[in-house]
Amino acid sequence: MADILVFGAHPDDAEFGMGASMVKFVRSGASLTVCVLSRGEAGTFGTAAQREGEMRDAARKLGGGIEILSFLDCQIFDSYESRIKVAEVIRAQRPKLVFAPYHTHVGNHKDGGAHPDHAATGTIVRSATRYARFAGLKDVHGEPWNADHIIYYMVPRSRMPTLLNDVSDYMEEWEGIARCHQSQMSIRDGKIMEFLRAMRGTNGGMISVRYAEGFITDDPIPFDLPLFMRGTPRQPGAPLG
Ligand SMILES: [Zn+2]
pLDDT in tens, 3-59: 999 999 999 999 999 999 999 999 999 999 999 999 998 888 889 999 999 999 999
For the chain, give the mean pLDDT: 92
Closest by CA to 61, choosing from 94, 97, 89, 34, is 34
Closest by CA to 9, choosing from 63, 62, 68, is 68
In a domain, 240, yes or no: no
In a domain, 236, yes or no: no
What pLDDT, on a 0 to 100 scale, did the predictor assign at position 226? 82
Closest by CA to 131, choosing from 193, 80, 70, 199, is 80
In a domain, 237, yes or no: no
In a domain, 221, yes or no: yes
In a domain, 235, yes or no: no
Distance of CA 199 from the midpoint of ligand 1 (Å): 16
In a domain, 12, yes or no: yes
In a domain, 182, yes or no: yes
Number of domains in the chain: 1
Asked whether the predicted pLDDT for residue 221 surpasses 90, the reply is no
Domain with 51, as residue range(s), is 4-229
Distance of CA 41 from the midpoint of ligand 1 (Å): 11
Q: Which CATH number belongs to the domain containing residue 121 in this structure?
A: 3.40.50.10320
Distance of CA 213 from the midpoint of ligand 1 (Å): 17
- Ligand 1 is a single-atom ion; what residues have CB below 5 A from it? 10, 13
What pLDDT, on a 0 to 100 scale, did the predictor assign at position 224? 87
| pTM summary value | 0.93
Distance of CA 87 from the midpoint of ligand 1 (Å): 20
Distance of CA 116 from the midpoint of ligand 1 (Å): 9
In a domain, 71, yes or no: yes
Residue 233's pLDDT band (cuts 50, 70, 90) = low
What pLDDT, on a 0 to 100 scale, did the predictor assign at position 1? 94
